[in-house]
Structures are given as C-alpha cells and as structure tokens.
Amino acid sequence: MGGSPGKTGTMSQVTGVTGGILPTAAPPTQGGKKTTPRSGKVRQRKITPYLFLLAPLALLITFSYVPAANLIWYSFTSWDGIDQTKKLVGIQNYIDIFTRPEIFRVFFVSLYYIAASFLQMAFALYFATILSFSTRFRNLFKGILFFPTLINGVAIGLMFLYFFQPHGTMDSLMKAVGAQQFTTQWLGNPDAVNVSLASTSVWRYTGLNFVLFLGAIQSIPSQLYEAADLDGASKFQQFRYIIAPGIKRIISLSFILALSGSLAVFEIPYIMTGGANGSSTFVIETIQRAFTFRQVGLASAMAVVLLIIVLVVTFIQRRLVPDEEVTLS
Amino acid sequence: MAKKHIAIAAVAVSALLLAGCSSTGGGSTGGTPSGDITVLTNRTDLIKNKVYAGYVAAFNKAYPKVTVKLQGITDYEGEVTTRLSTKNYGDVLGIPASVTPNQLPQFFEPLGDTAKLKETYRFLNDKSFNGKQYGLPTFGNANGIVYNKRVWKEAGVTSIPKTPAEFISDLKLIKSKTAAIPYYTNYKDGWPLGSWQNQQGFSANTNVVADRDSNNAPWTSGTEQYTTDALLFDVVKNGLSEPDPLTTSWEGSKGMLATGKVASAVLGSWAIVQFQDAAKTAGADPADIGFMPFPEQKDGKFHSAVGGDVNIGVNVNSKNKPAARAWVDWFLNKSTFAADAGALPPQVNGKNPTTLQDFTDNKVQYVELSAAKKPALDSDIYNKAEIDLFGKVYRQKLVDIARGAAEGDMKSYFADLNKRWAAARSSVAS
C-alpha cells in the first residue's frame, strides 16, 4: 500500500513530523526542456515501469493471490487435501464454524497474547525512550534488545522448551533467588502454560517494536528537545509532550500488528506444546483440521474467517484511534 | 530494446511455468527394465548410513541397466501427501497413510489381484481396493509393550501381566520399589500415543474395526476401544507416567528406557531394534529390552495384532513402470530390508525374527485383522468426528483429564467421544 507512487510527497508524515529532517522533495519537473521525442523512445519510456513491475507482480500473483484465491475456492468444498475431485458443499463449512462453539473457544487463548502484547509495547517504548537519550553503552543495549528478533522462531521455541523444563534454567534461576516454592511445571500446568508461552512471545517480539519506536523517536528533530530543555522541561515531560505525540502513528501501527498477531499466534505454541494442554490457538486448530482430520475445506474456511476477523478488528481499531496528522511545532 | 524487454519477460514467465513441471526419462527396451527411477523413502537414517546405497548396489547387480535415484524425506507423510497433487512423486514410494483405500487407484498403479498375491504375501488388507492390490508391505509389525526386563525384575514382577488390572499393579510395584518412571507416554511428540490404537485386535477379534464402525458408542465397557483408553487413563490417573508430559522427547525416551530410567512404553515391534541400539549407545545391556503383549488374554492366550508397516507402491504417472515394478519385487523378496529392521517378513511363510523371541516364549498368537467391507468408512467417521484414533490430539486430552489438567473425568470424556462418534456415523452414512 505504501508503495503507491504519488504519495512520496507525504512520506515524512509517517513519523508525524511535517517538514522534518528530510528535505522536502522538489516538485518533479516535467522533463525539463521539451525536445521532440522519437516515437520509439516514448513507447519505451511508457513500457519500462511496467516491465520493472512485472517480476514482483508475477511473484506476488503466483505466491500470494493464486493461493489465496484457491483457499477461498477450497473453503466451499469438502476436499480432503488429496482427492482429485473436489465436491462443492456451498457455505456448509462456514455454517459449521459458526455453529460449533469449540472452534471459537480457542480465541480465549489469544487474550493471553493480547495482554502480553501490551506488556511488550510498554517494554519496547520504555527502552526506546531511554536509549534515544545519550545513555552509556547505548549501542550495546540496542544490540542486546534487538538480538532475539534475529533468531529463528523454531530455535526460540526449542530454547525455551529447555528453559521451562522441570529442573531447567527457569527452575534453577528461581532456586538461586530463593523462590523455589513458586516453581511449577511451566508447560505442564494448565494454568501456567499460556502465560509461559506468551512471555516467550514477549521476549521474541519486543526487539522489533523497540527498533520501530527508536527509529521514529530519532526522526524527531533535535531542536525540539533543545527548546524543551531551555524551557526547563523534565525528561518525563519531554516524553509526554514531544516523543509520545511524535510517534503516535508508529504506536498505532504497532497495536494493529500486535492485535492481529495475537489472533493468529502459531509458531511458539506449535513448536513448544503442539497445542496440547489447552494452549491451542485458532491457527493450530486450523492446521489440525487440515492435516490431522483431513478436512481441508473446513480449514480453508477457518483461514478465511480469521482473515475477516483480523480485517474487522483492524477497522474497529482504526475507527477508535483515528489516523489524524500530528504537528509538533 | 523493447524486444529485449519482451524476451526477458518471456524467460521470467516460462521459468514460473516450468517450476511446476518436471521431466522423467527412461522406459524399457525389450524384456529387461532399463532407465531411471526415483525411489522416495522415509528412512533418511538408512540413506545417511549408506545402507540404502547398499540395496541399490545389490539391485544393480540384477538389473544393471536401471539407475536408481533415492530421495529421503524427513517429514514424509506431510511432504508426500502434498506432492500427490502433482504428478511428480517419484516412481516407487511408500504410500502415505492419509490416502484412503478408495483413493488408491487415483495415485498408484495396480500391482495385481489381491487374491493372487495373497499366496505369496501377507498384510495385504490395508492397500487393497476392489480386489486389486496397490501397495505391498515392506515388512510387518507385531504390537505390544516395550519394557525394561531388569527394572521389572527388580520390582519383583516375575510373569508378564495378563489383565489391565495386573498391568497397573505391576506399574505400582515398579514405582514403589525402583527409581524408574513406570510408564512413558511420549505425550509431547504425540505420535507414539497412536501406538495404543495399533494394539487393536488384542482380544483376538479380527473384526474390531467393523465392530467399532457399526457401534454408536465404542467407548463402552467391554469393547477393545474402552479397554485400551481406560488403561491409558488409569496409568496416568495413578501417577504412573512421567511427571511433566509436556517436556517429553521420543529420542530421549529410547535411552531412558534402555538404561532403566523408564520401565515401559506401548509401541510396535519395529521399535525393538531402535531401543536395542539405544542401549548399546548408552552402555546398557540390549538384552534388557523386552517386548510383552497387550495385557489381555482370550482363552488363556495372549494375542498381538500384526500388520504391514510402510507399503510401497508404483506412481500411476510413472514413465518407467517396468523398472519401478522390478524394484518393488526385488526390494520385498531379495533385499535384506525386513531382516535389517528385525521385523516380520512380508512373505506368507516368512520366519519370525529373533526380536520377537519374547512373543514366541510366551506363546503369543498373531492376529491379522480382516479386510474391511467399506475400506474408507473408518477414516471417514473418525475424521468427521475429529477423533484421531491413530494420532495424538484426543489421547493428549485423555491424558490431560487423567492428570487433572483438564476438566472432566473418564466417564464424561468417553460420553463426549461416543456422542461425537455417533453424530459422525450418521452424517457419514447419509
């Protein structure tokens, strides 16, 4: 969406700063001096942008739109994923989804991840603010905070599997600080499992939020801080009145990502518990329907429903927090 | 210039189109098979340790003109099931379990009439449809419980249990007298939980599948299904399984059982060799690995269900069927594959392997289940009911309930299973 030409003039508004540090691009001049162009060159000039578009479009269509269209088509069939004939069943799969409460019950698990995403944003914002001021070893801390984002999700899952094992790192750690009476089976206890998994998710994604926030904060012009300093504003006031409004858009974007991410959690619970012990999420349920019970039709319908839910949630969220432009000066 | 652009575009488009195609060459000239064939296998371990290369070399002595290409696939079931929707799934391959019998003709070449092949081979019922055979078993498995003989002896158990109640009391003895975990569910990896279902037939009922499919409440006292799942429930309920089931690991469990940290696990006879290897690796005695039948007797005798392991078939789209067929016949009759696995050979008159000496000593009777009249009915019902009899999901729930991690008790869960089963039965029948 952001790549559409013609919007380039408003790019700097992403950070909420008009006339910010980026020099405003000069309006494109229409080719300068007019020469009589030869017809071949004109055609070539017309055709070239489309040829550049061809490769990404071909990839996008082959690997995104065709499978998505197929998904929608399968959702109206009772296909088992193998058979050469696909029987049309109309909207039966959708009726099934909305008449079977156990399919929707797993969204309850998403609440853990939504709660965790608030925590994640708070951490990220806190560290981004601190490290945007001149702090000792700030580059080291930036590296440490961003590091988990670089690790493969499967590796993180396996790592935390050992971390949460009985007599594993977590238990040893709690023993070392004298809190062993609070240890439990971190994954085996049905009351603890989703908290453990959601915390893993926080550890994994905080770095990404942090980098987004930090980038946005750093694009706020430094004169504003200097002016605030002269006026005697404290660091907290600077955060409250300069940073927070300055990166409002990024925060709102992060919330949308976190919310839709929480509804579609998959990797961490799938690797660490396989959805057992009440940690199943909607995507895991979908996978099970498709590949364990061979109901690819129903699973496709579930995937379509999830897509619609995410779109609706995003829409509501955008309505509640309107995307107004922010001016700091 | 414009032409050059178009040429580039054409290359890009054709590259995309070509991604979906593949080329297989070869054929046969005269009577002797020749050309290339590709063999897909789930046994990546045998490819890594060059055992498979040895099979190919031996095959080439008999068929020098055939070039065999091997493809080992780790996630065999998932990957090959997906590849079935293309035409490119090798020439000879293990038939994925998800293909139902009535779908076999869509993907596999008939290998002959089942009635005729029965004179030579056994375990043919799984991959037969309308009297034609579409896959042949590479070897057969007997089902039972792998256990550590030393631990059981240390606990004071002298004879193998004859009833589920005896099994439970023996496990309790092990718990009180040894440091071992009496039973290991392998809950996290999950698939070993399906081994419980493979025991079906332990009451000498060869029609156990048809009985289940004609019953609206298979989880009712007296059925095999009830006995099986109630035993697992009781094992967990009595605290006789591993303390934190969420952190189990299959590979680790082999060493634990071999060294006596774990006392028993329900599995198939294919696992015996792997546990013996684990014992050697861990410096324990491979002779400690024992195999006992499911704890139930009929007319004073133990019974063990035997069935084919992976069945191999020929791709119906294969360009080189004669060579593929030659590989299938050679692999079943001339290779040492079944012997290497310490398994029951697929031939009717095949000798019992030494790994099953325990069964011979205990006079265990082998039971081969009858062919189903409606081959796809069972899987249609359990998929519709979302009760994965051979999978992990519903038994993980059973374990959760038994250890108090999920709401309900055995009665309520079995009632729920019965309800779902009955609903699925009526919807599949209609």
CATH number (domain holding residue A121): 1.10.3720.10
B36-137+310-350 with B142-306+371-429: one CATH topology? yes
Using the predicted structure, report yes or no on whether residue A36 has a pLDDT greater than 70.
no
| pLDDT value of position A16 | 41
Using the predicted structure, report yes or no on whether residue A8 has a pLDDT greater than 80.
no
B chain contacts of residue A292, beta-carbon cutoff 8 Å: 388, 391, 393
Pairing relation of β-strands B66-72 and B32-41?
A: parallel
Residue A132 falls inside a structural domain: yes
With a pLDDT cut of 90, the percent of chain B lying above it is: 76
| DSSP code string of B159-207 | S--SSHHHHHHHHHHHHHHSSSBSB---TTT-GGGGHHHHTTTTTS-TT
d(CA B322, CA B314): 10
Using the predicted structure, report yes or no on whether residue A246 has a pLDDT greater than 80.
yes
| pLDDT value of position B4 | 54
**Mean pLDDT within A19-24:** 42
Contact (CB<8Å) A82/B84:
yes
d(CA A76, CA A79): 9
B401: tokens are: 């309930």
- Confirm if B94 and B114 have CB atoms less than 8 A apart: no
With a pLDDT cut of 70, the percent of chain B lying above it is: 93
Contact (CB<8Å) B16/A55:
no
Per-residue pLDDT band for A81 (boundaries 50, 70, 90) equals: confident
Per-residue pLDDT band for A41 (boundaries 50, 70, 90) equals: confident
| Cβ–Cβ contact A93 with B under 8 A | no
B chain contacts of residue A51, beta-carbon cutoff 8 Å: 5, 8-9
| pLDDT value of position A178 | 87
Total H helices, total E strands in chain A? 16, 0
Nearest to A190 among B243, B388, B406 (CB): B406
**Mean pLDDT within A216-226:** 89
Domain spans in chain B, listed from the N-terminal domain onward: 36-137+310-350, 142-306+371-429
Please report which residue ranges of A4-91 form alpha helices under DSSP H.
39-60, 66-74
Q: Each residue of A188-214: pLDDT tens digit?
A: 888 899 999 999 999 999 999 999 999
Q: Which amino acid, one-letter code, is at A85?
A: T
CA distance B314 to chain A (A): 17
Using the predicted structure, report yes or no on whether residue A281 has a pLDDT greater than 80.
yes
Nearest to B247 among A43, A187, A293 (CB): A187
Per-residue pLDDT band for B10 (boundaries 50, 70, 90) equals: low
Per-residue pLDDT band for A2 (boundaries 50, 70, 90) equals: very low
d(CA B267, CA B144): 6
Q: Which CATH number fits the domain B142-306+371-429, given the four candidates 3.40.50.150, 3.40.190.10, 3.40.50.1100, 3.40.50.10860?
A: 3.40.190.10
Pick the more confident residue, B27 or A281: A281
Residue A160 burial by Cβ neighbours in a 10 Å radius (0-12, 13-18, 19+): buried
Flag the least confident range among A319-328, B7-16, B305-314.
Answer: B7-16
Residue A197 falls inside a structural domain: yes
Pick the more confident residue, A324 or B396: B396
Nearest to B5 among A47, A83, A188 (CB): A47
Residue A167 falls inside a structural domain: yes
**Mean pLDDT within A53-80:** 93
d(CA A301, CA A285): 12
Q: Each residue of B204-213: pLDDT tens digit?
A: 999 999 999 9
CA distance A187 to chain B (A): 6
Residue A114 CB coordination number (10 Å): 15
- Give me the residue label for tokens 């509804």: A263
Secondary structure letter of residue B370 according to DSSP = P
Residue A6 falls inside a structural domain: no
Residue A166 falls inside a structural domain: yes
Q: What is the dihedral of CA B41, B45, B49, B55, to 10 degrees?
A: -30
Using the predicted structure, report yes or no on whether residue A291 has a pLDDT greater than 70.
yes
Question: How many structural domains does chain A have?
Answer: 1
Q: Each residue of B107-118: pLDDT tens digit?
A: 999 999 999 999
B chain contacts of residue A187, beta-carbon cutoff 8 Å: 244, 246-247
Using the predicted structure, report yes or no on whether residue B38 has a pLDDT greater than 90.
yes
Using the predicted structure, report yes or no on whether residue B386 has a pLDDT greater than 70.
yes
| pLDDT value of position A102 | 83
| Cβ–Cβ contact B112 with A under 8 A | no
**Mean pLDDT within B287-315:** 94
Per-residue pLDDT band for A248 (boundaries 50, 70, 90) equals: confident
Closest CA to B106 of B136, B79, B125, B86: B86
Compute the C-alpha angle B144/B339/B371, nearest 5°: 55
Using the predicted structure, report yes or no on whether residue B275 has a pLDDT greater than 80.
yes
Pick the more confident residue, A9 or B75: B75
Q: Is the dihedral of CA B400, B406, B411, B416 positive or negative?
A: negative
Per-residue pLDDT band for B326 (boundaries 50, 70, 90) equals: very high
- Confirm if A81 and A71 have CB atoms less than 8 A apart: no
Mutation target among A73, A93, A294 for the B interface, most CBs of B within 10 A: A294
Residue A249 falls inside a structural domain: yes
ipTM over 0.85 threshold: no
Rg (CA), chain B: 24
With a pLDDT cut of 70, the percent of chain A lying above it is: 85
Question: Up-side HSE of residue A192: CA atoms within 13 Å toward CB?
Answer: 12
Using the predicted structure, report yes or no on whether residue A95 has a pLDDT greater than 50.
yes
Pick the more confident residue, A211 or A101: A211
Mutation target among A64, A93, A293, A296 for the B interface, most CBs of B within 10 A: A293
- Confirm if B198 and B368 have CB atoms less than 8 A apart: no
Q: Each residue of B188-200: pLDDT tens digit?
A: 988 999 999 999 9
- Give me the residue label for tokens 């929608």: A72
Closest CA to B402 of B391, B393, B413, B416: B413
| pLDDT value of position A324 | 64
Nearest to A54 among B12, B190, B396 (CB): B12
Per-residue pLDDT band for B24 (boundaries 50, 70, 90) equals: very low
Per-residue pLDDT band for A253 (boundaries 50, 70, 90) equals: confident
| pLDDT value of position A12 | 39
Q: Which class would CATH give B36-137+310-350?
A: alpha beta
Per-residue pLDDT band for B19 (boundaries 50, 70, 90) equals: very low
Residue A126 CB coordination number (10 Å): 14
A38: left (phi over 0), alpha (psi -120 to 50) or beta: beta
Pick the more confident residue, B323 or A325: B323
Backbone angles phi, psi at B72, to 5 degrees: -90, 135
| DSSP code string of B210-237 | HHHHT-S-SSSTTSHHHHHHHHHHHHHH
Q: Each residue of B405-425: pLDDT tens digit?
A: 899 999 999 999 999 999 999
Pick the more confident residue, A157 or A327: A157
A chain contacts of residue B378, beta-carbon cutoff 8 Å: none
Pick the more confident residue, B154 or A134: B154
Question: Up-side HSE of residue B372: CA atoms within 13 Å toward CB?
Answer: 20
- Confirm if B256 and B284 have CB atoms less than 8 A apart: no
Using the predicted structure, report yes or no on whether residue A1 has a pLDDT greater than 60.
no
Range of the domain at A170: 107-280
Q: Each residue of B39-75: pLDDT tens digit?
A: 999 988 889 889 999 999 999 999 999 999 999 998 8
A chain contacts of residue B188, beta-carbon cutoff 8 Å: 273-274, 276
pTM: 0.82
Closest CA to B268 of B328, B219, B199: B199
| Cβ–Cβ contact A167 with B under 8 A | no
Q: Which amino acid, one-letter code, is at B352?
A: N
Secondary structure letter of residue B368 according to DSSP = E
Residue B330 CB coordination number (10 Å): 16
Per-residue pLDDT band for A328 (boundaries 50, 70, 90) equals: low
| DSSP code string of B250-298 | HHHHHHHHHTTSB-EEEEETHHHHHHHHHHHHHT--GGGEEEE--S-EE
